[in-house]
Structure 1
Amino acid sequence: MRDDTTATARLSISGMGCGACTARVEAALQEALGVQSFTVTRAPDEAITLYDPSQTSPAALAEVVAAAGYPATVQTPQIAEPAPAEEQSDEARPQTDERSEEALQTTQLNIANMHCASCVSRVEQALSAVPGVSSASVNLATRRATVAHSLPAETPLLEAAAAAGYPAILQSRQELATPPNATNETRAMARRTLIAALLTAPVFLIEMGGHLYAPLHHFVAATIGVTPWRIVQFLLTTAVLAGPGRLFFSSGIPALLRGAPEMNALVTLGAGAAWAYSTLATFAPGLLPEGANHVYFEAAAVIVTLILLGRTLEARARGQAGAALRGLMALTPETAPVETPQGLKNTPLSEIAPGSILHLAPGARVAVDGVVTEGSGWLDEAMITGEAQPVAKAPGDSLTGGTLNGTTALSYRATAVGADTVLARIAAQVEQAQATKLPVQRTIDRVTAIFVPAVLVIAALTALLWLATTGDISRALVAAVCVLIIACPCAMGLATPVSILVATGRAAELGVIFRNGAALEQLGAVETLAFDKTGTLTEGHPALTSVTTSGMDRAEALRLAASAEARSEHPLAKALLAAAEAEGLALSPATAATAKPGYGLTAMVEGKALVLGGTRAMEAEGLTLPPALTEALEAAEARAETAFFLAAEGEVAALFTVADPIKPDAAQALKTLKSNGISLALLSGDSPRVAKAVAARLGIDAPEGGLLPDGKLTRIEAFKAQGPVGFVGDGINDAPALAAADVGLAIGTGTEVAVEAADVVLLSGRLEGLTAAHEISRRTMANIRQNLVWAFGYNVLLIPVAAGVLVPFGGPQLSPMIGAGAMALSSLAVVANALRLRRAAA
């Protein structure tokens, strides 16, 4: 049952630069007085803490964290059901210290000119160097940077990115609600590729055709002339490099001058060297050694064209990667009919304010989140919950933007608009997960930071060795250019983020939200999954099945119990209230109602001191159970029904039993998980007999009942000693276990505290979402491993071949054109492999 004596504090924390920092903050909170549970994350850098406000405060918790060496500020304390503001004393109001002025904020930027992992590293270094920046994370797949900082304005961030050669654009709040779309980038790249291909075609066809069919060369020499044909090649190739290929030089040359070469620098050096050498051979052949008068204009032109083609296909593939999430966001209409003094007016969504009354026509989609004010009907919420069955809606029920109305017209009041809607928050959480760097990605970043300089060194050594051993400057140039072109940090940079991008989008389609990338990595590796019972394995909507009394009238017992539970959100309380309402019982107001997780509730009703709870609650009060109620309790537990008592004025007067049906998909979902080698456990606050009965029906091997929140936490720690463990729950009393598990999975229909403490949210509440999440996690990590094997293997194998290591053994020396094609295909192969995740859990 809900605990009215707990509160939630959200702290922004500075200086957490690694996992060890996070561990030190967790240790400090673990020792803090009054802290019941907490979760600490580095993206964003914050701690969400469940605490006892009678023992501590958000400001005190911030001081505890600051004392550990990590300055912290209070964000938005959320104390359960606070008194109205005008009734609060100064002591009761949330307190913040003077550090609150330095509270961190998160800014997202769109970054231009990023094409490889080296680019990511340069941008992150530039942003992190800005004073006031706590952390910066850049995602190559989405071209976005997420920066945590205490700056009063974002201008220094934009200037730092631009100075590093990567112009940035600040995203508005509304833009953050929209997943990135690569359509414009794809079209621009396609135009560049087409122009480059048209200019390159004559050079390539005639020059390569002459190698395949020698008379063609003789024909060109006889009709056009060797020198005039070279001048034509020079003009066409220069047009390719100065036109469509200008983007490589405009980024690559400044990067070289800054001493921070990246992918564009490699293309610039490779294509530029081939063009410069050929230009010299055309206009000043006397400066070259005898026999070295060759031109490679076709290589320079084809290199640029092929790489442009690769980037076009990559941009299109990245657009497909984010299509699932954009498809969800596109479900909201652009306008909606809003009531105005002049009547109904179709209003753009950006102009709709909370509190506006909107009309919803049959078959239309809900524009923004709201509450039904008039009418009733059925809505299809499958896009959010994954549930195929329509959901009944009546006045007072909530509506979610993007869901589809049935055949009845409704009116509703807007409660959340823009980036505050459920869909926008889902998109934001998915983006947060996409921005998270997995441990393997950090290793890749370290490697790619030295990759491009290493390639430049290899290319220079290749040229020197060829020149020293053969004396042929032309062959030395070809080998060096081929090394520059074939090296591909693009594939390494995309190997992890593009898989995360596709996987999280696919999961969102299925009603599963990964709140951080680490959960996506860890869920597939868990060896034990532990479950809460009520609301997790069961429907969470129990119905009252019997009332057994001792010395009190049945109706009176039900009326008093329902009066005490009138403000509770617990499913058992709702069962009592529903039964009292069905029997037409008049409830009385309750005072001094206090809920204690794991024990129950105490309250005063009509001057009587009431206690509601299980056997443990009665024992805590020192109360003795009447024999009749003891027998009824044993019979109820044998039927796997949940039972709890009512004590009035120190006497146990009644036993209530409720039945909570098991979710229809639970048995199959758990069977699938067991077939994947996962051990299943049940950790319930209900009686051990009920827990065992439910476990037997679902095939769970390790059921435990009668557990308090700290008992669940202890069991989770014991499981972790045996291997990675996940926990699935939905209530306040599950929050400590959710936070402690390697992966916490919250039922989306559960309490806000549980959802905040979890790493993964199952929006629909159905456990088939859990099996989908596990499969997506497992397949994503396999996909990332495949991408990394390809990305690293490609470079390890082909760079030596490009350098000519096989030539002494009769092997081939690759041409720069083949190197350009291989480089373009390497990135495309990584993206195409990641796109296979769009069919995961189908």
Structure 2
Amino acid sequence: MSAKDTTNSEFFTLDIGGMTCASCVSRVEKALGKIPGVEAASVNLATEQAKIRIKTGSISLSDIIGLVQKTGYEAQESTARGNQNQNISKSFWADDGLGRVILSFLLSAPLFLPMFLMPFGMQWSLSGWWQLALATPVQFVLGWRFYVAGYKSVRAGAGNMDLLVALGTSAAYGLSLYLLLIPTHVHAQVHELYFEGSAVIICMVLLGKWLEARAKQHTGEAIRALQKLWPEHAKVLNIGLELQDNAGVSAGQYRDLPLDQVLPGDRVLVLPGERIPVDGVIIFGASHVDESLLTGESEPVKKGIDSSVIGGALNGEGVLVIRAHAVGIESVLSQIISLVEDAQTQKAPIQKLVDQVSAIFVPTVIVLALMAGIGNWLYFDSSSIAILRAVSVLVIACPCALGLATPAAIMAGTGVAARFGILIKDPQVLELAHKLDIVAFDKTGTLTLGKPRMLALMPFSSPFDASSIEVNQILATAAGLQLGSEHPLAKALLDAAKENNLSPVATSASKALPGIGIEGIPSAGPFAGLTLRLQSVASLKGEAEYDTILQQAQAYFDQGQTVSVLINTGSSDKGTLRPIAVIAFGDELKANAQAAINALHELHIRTVMLSGDNEAAATRVGKTIGIDEVFAQILPGNKAEIIQKLQSVAKGKKHYVAMVGDGVNDAPALAMADVGMAMSTGTDVAMQAAGITLMRGEPTLVADAIDVSKKTWNKIRQNLFWAFAFNTIGIPMAALGYLSPMLAGSAMALSSFCVLSNALLLKRWRPSLR
């Protein structure tokens, strides 16, 4: 998969096959880094992918793939839908397949079962030649992959897990064969043969690799679940077909086209129970749409004409016709998959430490094994003991768990977060989220709905006993003045009329008054034939009626609302203005804004709100939902400066700040913050600047995002602890003879399995405010 940007660079994703441990990752990265034209490369063991940035035109992708293959690994360009299904489709007899595991255990069972019978007084074992016959196919047929991969790593000037396994098992097998061929050992010393050790090591490593492959499938479930949302075909209506209410669409009136042939502007038919194939707007029909896998919204959402829909969502009970706006890689679903894949293939900064350790790990282990062998040989004067203990060191030290510790946790954490509408794009935030002690919110569109609504309409005559009919007549008339206007307050009036089932009164001689408002003559109702004007209160300064109007509007101003006044401009012979009603507009708080702030307080995080509103309005909102500190009358360009001040060291402690916003003017602050969170309901610029995107635009997701980030970070630390602990404890024990080669192989496989299983526990995470 490739992409271009405006900086004269190209980005590619390669699927890498044959990697087995952290040392493999380090070697592939080094090989990529030495290629002329490659600007950056990052390889991930858990996803088996490499992200590469090259200078445009410097080298072809086929040349890069060839150079990677020379290092001993398979490589191919990733498809548009990634490589997440590859593990599922692997053959039963593949290198990591279950068939090889079962066969290896069947052949090895007669070799190691006598060990378990000895405590019960049953002294039985196969002859040395039978042991040789059973161990040889395990060593050189089922275990041949380790020789091939080990040889390739040596040829590339490095080492990996396969080399350790090949060296260790060959030493045990070779020692046993040597003892068997000495005549005095053929019958009397069968118990000194170690064929079972080499065979069982290969069995356990194969079992570990199979368990790893299965665990990797589970960590990639989030991607696969999203990929399955893509329908294969779309029903595109024929050009010129007229849509009529209560009239069905017959089979001959649409074409069933492959999804890649659907173009923006096409009209797509979606039947009940089908997945919506494209992003677009409903132009016919109504239904409930399940968007849970895309946004994390648990309940189906009611959709009607002019409602936007997302490709991949599940249609409910109604027939819909959708005008396609975005298809393929331009769709929201494709972008979500791309974001999650990027997050899962990127590395957290702590992984750099692991990579540095892994680069020298295998050579160090080989040296330690040689030292253990020589030391034991000198101390015990026994070549068999020396070889067995050196073999144990080689086997226990396989760095599989070390290589999987971080990427497995990142895959599981970002995957489960995506299921609930939290897209973690930058793994670095996982290392910072647990340190957060301040969360700063933009107000408009983040804590509020982001668009004005009519909150009150107060007539001047009989303000306290005005009947609903009078109010409705005024609202219908005011809405009629705004017909055709795109101003946000005009839309708020029209929405209010629609909510009250009112039809706006038709108006003639309408004209916009720049900086003032709008004027027109209603054609019906109590104000028919009068010249009415809807304007701001501030524009009336200097008029005789200004003080009266201001007195009526002051209560709304005190609440931080925007106030307009409806005026009869020709109500008397003197031409004086007669106010009819004041209309207050405001941006309502989101229903769960207070719950979001309470959740952050429970996490002992201080909350801050940044607003361009006046002091009174901003303070009122802050007090309503429990914000700790409010910054009012903030210019858009100053938000980043405030974030920087909040981060400053106080009392010897640096504060870690998250910024939550949705607008273009929030982008600098989102980038400045330690963790940026953007609402998907906002602008693309904001989402690009943020490390986390909240798909539902609900402020409660902020606490959930911090919580899942903390838990993922904890899993990374736990995994690294166990990975280092296994090696730190296991290597000395193996060198001192407390771990036989067979137990060392079991412990090595167990370490990888424990790390992956621990990471998979993240799949049980659920949002606290769902």
TM-score (norm 2): 0.83
What residue number does 2:358 align with? 448
State the SS of the aligned residue for 1:496: helix
1:819 shift after superposition? 0.2
What residue number does 1:399 align with? 309
1:464 shift after superposition? 0.6
1:558 shift after superposition? 6.4
What residue number does 2:747 align with? 822
CA distance in 2, matches of 1:700, 1:333: 44
> Residues 644-793 of structure 1 correspond to what in structure 2 (within 5 A)?
657-722=584-649, 723-793=655-725
CA distance in 2, matches of 1:720, 1:824: 44
1:241 shift after superposition? 2.1
1:238 shift after superposition? 1.6
Residue identity matched to 2:659: F
State the SS of the aligned residue for 2:748: helix
Change (3 A) 1:744 1:592: farther
The answer to whether the 8 Å contact 1:522/1:743 transfers is yes
Residue identity matched to 2:75: A
1:756 shift after superposition? 2.1
State the SS of the aligned residue for 1:770: helix
What residue number does 1:124 align with? 29
Of 228, 240, 243 in structure 1, the residue corresponding to residue 138 of structure 2 is 240
Of 168, 171, 174 in structure 1, the residue corresponding to residue 78 of structure 2 is 171
Deviations 1:3-39 (A, max 9, x none): xxxxxxxxxxxxxxxxxxxxxxxxxxxxxxxxxxxxx
CA distance in 2, matches of 1:822, 1:256: 25
State the SS of the aligned residue for 2:89: helix
Change (3 A) 1:133 1:235: same
Residue identity matched to 1:245: G
1:313 shift after superposition? 1.0
Deviations 1:370-396 (A, max 9, x none): 332322233222222233343333343
CA distance in 2, matches of 1:729, 1:698: 17
The answer to whether the 8 Å contact 1:325/1:509 transfers is no
What residue number does 1:583 align with? 504
What residue number does 1:635 align with? 555
Of 294, 297, 302 in structure 1, the residue corresponding to residue 195 of structure 2 is 297
> Residues 100-119 of structure 1 correspond to what in structure 2 (within 5 A)?
103-119=8-24
Of 315, 321, 328 in structure 2, the residue corresponding to residue 411 of structure 1 is 321
1:143 shift after superposition? 0.6
What residue number does 1:380 align with? 290
1:700 shift after superposition? 0.9
From the CA coordinates, give the structure whose radius of gyration is larger: 2
What residue number does 1:832 align with? 757
Deviations 1:399-437 (A, max 9, x none): 212212121111223333333321121111011112222
CA distance in 2, matches of 1:123, 1:628: 78
1:463 shift after superposition? 0.6
What residue number does 1:5 align with? none
Residue identity matched to 2:670: L
Residue identity matched to 2:750: L
Deviations 1:120-176 (A, max 9, x none): 111111112111111101111111111011254311220121111111111133x24
CA distance in 1, matches of 2:41, 2:565: 54
The answer to whether the 8 Å contact 2:22/2:403 transfers is yes
Structure 1 window deviating more from structure 2 (389-398 vs 678-687): it is: 389-398
Change (3 A) 1:519 1:611: farther
Deviations 1:192-235 (A, max 9, x none): 11121111112222466468645314xx5xxxxxxxx3222222
CA distance in 2, matches of 1:592, 1:154: 61
Q: Determine if the alignment matches structure 1 residue 192 to structure 2 residue 100.
A: yes
What residue number does 2:368 align with? 458
Deviations 1:90-120 (A, max 9, x none): xxxxxxxxxx7xx211110110111111111
Q: Runs of 5+ in structure 1 lacking a partner?
A: 1-43, 46-72, 76-99, 221-228, 594-600, 805-811
Change (3 A) 1:555 1:421: closer
Deviations 1:657-703 (A, max 9, x none): 31333222222221111011100011111222111111112111112
The answer to whether the 8 Å contact 1:775/1:841 transfers is no
What residue number does 2:465 align with? none
The answer to whether the 8 Å contact 2:480/2:505 transfers is no
Q: Determine if the alignment matches structure 1 residue 182 to structure 2 residue 87.
A: yes
Of 213, 221, 235 in structure 2, the residue corresponding to residue 337 of structure 1 is 235
State the SS of the aligned residue for 1:183: coil
Residue identity matched to 2:44: N
CA distance in 2, matches of 1:798, 1:643: 74
What residue number does 2:245 align with? none
The answer to whether the 8 Å contact 1:544/1:579 transfers is yes
Q: Determine if the alignment matches structure 1 residue 205 to structure 2 residue 113.
A: yes
Q: Determine if the alignment matches structure 1 residue 502 to structure 2 residue 412.
A: yes
The answer to whether the 8 Å contact 2:560/2:613 transfers is no
Change (3 A) 1:151 1:532: closer
Of 135, 145, 164 in structure 2, the residue corresponding to residue 266 of structure 1 is 164
1:622 shift after superposition? 14
Structure 1 window deviating more from structure 2 (735-744 vs 277-286): it is: 277-286
Change (3 A) 1:480 1:603: farther
The answer to whether the 8 Å contact 2:354/2:403 transfers is yes
Change (3 A) 1:400 1:628: same
Residue identity matched to 1:678: I
> Residues 67-78 of structure 1 correspond to what in structure 2 (within 5 A)?
75=6
Of 143, 155, 159 in structure 1, the residue corresponding to residue 66 of structure 2 is 159
Residue identity matched to 1:155: S
Of 140, 149, 157 in structure 1, the residue corresponding to residue 45 of structure 2 is 140
Sequence identity (%): 36
1:250 shift after superposition? 1.0
CA distance in 2, matches of 1:291, 1:829: 38
CA distance in 2, matches of 1:108, 1:471: 54
The answer to whether the 8 Å contact 1:642/1:686 transfers is no
Structure 1 window deviating more from structure 2 (103-112 vs 557-566): it is: 557-566
State the SS of the aligned residue for 2:142: coil
> Residues 25-104 of structure 1 correspond to what in structure 2 (within 5 A)?
75=6, 103-104=8-9
CA distance in 2, matches of 1:490, 1:706: 55
1:656 shift after superposition? 5.7
CA distance in 2, matches of 1:294, 1:737: 70
Change (3 A) 1:450 1:579: same
Residue identity matched to 2:558: A
CA distance in 2, matches of 1:470, 1:588: 110
> Residues 270-349 of structure 1 correspond to what in structure 2 (within 5 A)?
270-283=168-181, 294-339=192-237, 343-349=253-259
Deviations 1:320-361 (A, max 9, x none): 111133223213333333335854444443444444432211
CA distance in 1, matches of 2:34, 2:566: 63
Change (3 A) 1:501 1:628: farther
State the SS of the aligned residue for 1:193: helix
Q: Runs of 5+ in structure 2 lacking a partner?
A: 240-251, 461-473, 521-532, 568-576, 650-654
Q: Determine if the alignment matches structure 1 residue 231 to structure 2 residue 141.
A: no
Change (3 A) 1:800 1:664: same
CA distance in 2, matches of 1:362, 1:789: 51
Task: Tell me how many residue pairs correspond in the alignment.
Answer: 704
CA distance in 2, matches of 1:474, 1:624: 110
The answer to whether the 8 Å contact 1:384/1:764 transfers is no
Residue identity matched to 1:583: P
What residue number does 1:90 align with? none
State the SS of the aligned residue for 1:411: strand
Structure 1 window deviating more from structure 2 (396-405 vs 299-308): it is: 396-405
